[in-house]
Structure 1
Amino acid sequence: MLVAVYHNNRDIRIKDVPKPDIGPDEILLKVMASGICGTDVVEWYRLPKAPRVLGHEATGIIEKIGKNVTKYKVGDRVFVSHHVPCNNCHYCRKDSHTACETLHTTNYYPGGFSQYIRVPKINVETGVYKLPANMSYEEGTFIEPLACAVRGQRLANIQKDDTILIIGSGMAGILHIQLAKRKGAKKIVAADINPNRLKLAEKFGADHVIDAKDDLPQELKKINNGKAVDKVIVCTGAEKAALTALECVDRGGTILFFAVPDPTTKIPIPITQFWRNETTIRTSYGAAPRDLKEALQILAQKQINVVDMITHRLSIKEVAEGFRLVAEAGKSLKVIIEPNRI
């Protein structure tokens, strides 16, 4: 089978390797679609474990099951979660599943940018989700990223009639726009330095867009009756975005740091001001089982539009081009790899 081996963003090599063998409690999945995530092109995050096959948004068809697998059968169309919690530890019992040590160590092999993956026992038990008949494989690749956004908005307590600023209008930002719209947000403002992404933000439901190169706090007040916003969702790891977010949140509001920040980023927090104003700072990493189930339901009911977010569909031999498109963040929004496309 063919796999795409990541060395760095500019060096991705297609290799022919043996199809994985599976054990009695495992599944062999024929990968039909796998999305490139923005985190896949964050080199400081990926290089320490390179070379490796990336891809954690995989959907496909079950080609083979181990003798002990009873919940699924050959031919089932499924999404497979790469990280799964133990559901039994201190963190899982507190509903902090993404802090679970098991979640941080589980995966499927070799990765979604391959024609087949081996799904280990623990993933089979708690991380395989059947796709409804009305959901395509490419729509299913949004289950994981949408679940992350679902979790983030749950933790940030996004409510009906909230005013919301979303900094960063890439794929994650667009998902947040659509989710916030679905929840009845009063006003959604999107900010980005990319004019194309601002157009996309408007297309997918933002009420206002602001060029992030401008004075964002002042521009925000112009369109929000002189006030900051109830919630700020930071969907970019840029330090400037984090600093700007501190100036854009209203009294009693919440800042959600959603994107992967550079480990060298340090921001001064106006603690006295935030104390007096009861400002909340939240972070969100990954998705818990409940978030994946909710994301699956949202997609199955077509409550948000993900199909039109897909800008590129590429074969496995074009993974390098896909990484270039995502890393450059020019006119791409969501890039889908179809490993078994002829």
Structure 2
Amino acid sequence: MYYNNNDVRLEELPIPEVGSDELLLRIEASGICGSDVMEWYRIQRAPTVLGHEVAGTVAQVGSGVSQFREGDRLVVTHHVPCNACRYCLSGSHTVCDTLRATSYDPGGFCEYVRLPAINVDRGAIPIPDGVPFDEASVAEPLACVYRGQRRANIQPGQTVLVLGSGLAVSTDLSDFRLEAARRLGADETLRADQYTPDRLREVNDGRLADLVIVATGARPALLQAIESVDRDGTVLFYAPTEPGVEIPVSINDVFFRNGATFTTTYAAAPGDLTTALDLIASGRVQIGDMISHHLPLAETDLGFKLTAGASDSLKVIVEPQR
């Protein structure tokens, strides 16, 4: 039960009762998302059970459910679209009103969740054979990354700068995360407190970045992103900021003369999740190397502290059945 980032308690709740078109999922793995530790955002709903990056086993099947059976291994999404509104029909599922209103009961940091009928219908995806639960739980954040890359129109041969430990050229304040970025494929890593666009030019043949992905909501990183994008390049704002954060942008210099594009991304559509699971199953994305901690449910509070600190951890997975 989440009260704040430093107060996550182990509490007893009744196992949810399942209706005719619903499922009961036994949670095997649940990842802690960066959004879970955005205290300014989560505190509004506290106390609550968080967790939306989940993988588990079907423990009970409602009488009206025919596509799943007890023992099936599933990844399930908490937010699902209607697939019928003007946004969904144009491919913009993540701005659908239904997606913003749906969830499961109670949340992923628990032993069992109830999947409402709409989540069973369009938010439950079988885990491919050979994919362990911990890696499968990372399908949801990977799907968000995949959607962001599509929106940014990432192309082979581009120079990609990730502000907030990523691959290609990565910046961060954490040496632990910079080392992880190097190990996972980054061509260059630069400390964020020493980073300037000139440093990027030094490691990139005199050029700025074709694509800048801002994976942090820190205002200095937002300003760095604008200064670091090359002509006709793109800035993808991947992480939200705290309320009230604004940045100055010169329309003439950034957009009119240099042709830069700014875009954002939020969440993922069911199709993105299916693609993410395929990427994991095929081994094209080595999820296992990105998981730094496996914790039992009783140590979820430690997981929140590790994720909020964002220095000596990568992906933290809670395993309620340990």
What TM-score range do you get, normalising by the shorter chain? over 0.9
Is 1:92 the counterpart of 2:72 in the alignment? no
Runs (4 or more) in structure 1 with deviation over 3 Å come to none
Q: CA deviation at 1:323?
A: 0.6
User: How large is the Cα RMSD of the aligned pairs?
Assistant: 0.8
2:313 maps to 1:326: no
> What aligned pairs does 1:304-323 form with structure 2 within 5 A after superposition?
304-323=285-304
Indicate if the aligned counterparts of 2:72 and 2:126 stay in contact, CA closer than 8 A: yes
Report the Cα distance in structure 1 between the residues aligned to 2:63 and 2:116, rounded to whole angstroms: 13
Per-residue CA deviations over 1:183-238 (Å, capped at 9, x if unaligned) read xxxxx211111111111110010001111111421100111121111000000110
**Please, which moves more after superposition, 124-133 or 260-269?**
260-269
- The equivalent residue for 1:140 is 136
CA contact (8 A) 1:9 1:327 kept: yes
Q: How does 1:258-273 map to 2 (within 5 A)?
A: 258-273=238-253
Question: Is 1:207–2:203 an aligned residue pair?
Answer: no
- Per-residue displacement from partner, 1:274-331 (whole Å, max 9, x unpaired)? 2111100000000012211111110110101111211111111111111111111121
Which residue, out of 115, 120, 140, partners 1:119? 115
Match of 1:71 in 2: 67
1:235 maps to 215
Separation in 2 of the partners of 1:330 and 1:278? 35
Please say if residues 22 and 118 of structure 1, whose CA atoms lie closer than 8 Å, have aligned partners that are also in contact.
yes
Contact (CA 8 Å) 2:171, 2:195: kept in 1 or not? no
* Structure 1 match to 2:20: 24
Does residue 198 in structure 1 map to residue 178 in structure 2? Answer: yes
SS of the residue aligned with 1:336? strand
Q: Give 3-state SS (helix, strand or coil) of 1:16's partner.
A: coil
2:171 partner amino acid: A
C-alpha deviations, 1:73-102, integer Å up to 9, x for none? Answer: 000000001100000001101111100000
CA contact (8 A) 2:75 2:124 kept: yes
Distance 2:291 2:205 in 1: 35
Q: Deviations over 1:256-285 (max 9, x none)?
A: 000122122101112101211110000000
Structure 1 spans left out of the alignment, 5+ residues: 178-187
TM-score normalized by the length of structure 2: 0.98
Q: Does 1:130 align with 2:114?
A: no
Alpha-carbon distance between aligned partners in 1 of 2:90 and 2:20, rounded to the nearest angstrom: 32
Q: What pairs with 1:2-21 in structure 2 (closer than 5 Å)?
A: 5-21=1-17
| TM superposition shift of 1:47 | 0.4
**Conservation of the 8 A alpha-carbon contact between 2:174 and 2:312:** no
Instruction: Establish whether residue 249 from structure 1 lines up as the match of residue 229 from structure 2.
Output: yes
**In 2, Cα distance between the equivalents of 1:96 and 1:85?**
10
1:210–1:216 CA contact under 8 A, matched in 2: no
SS at match of 2:2: strand
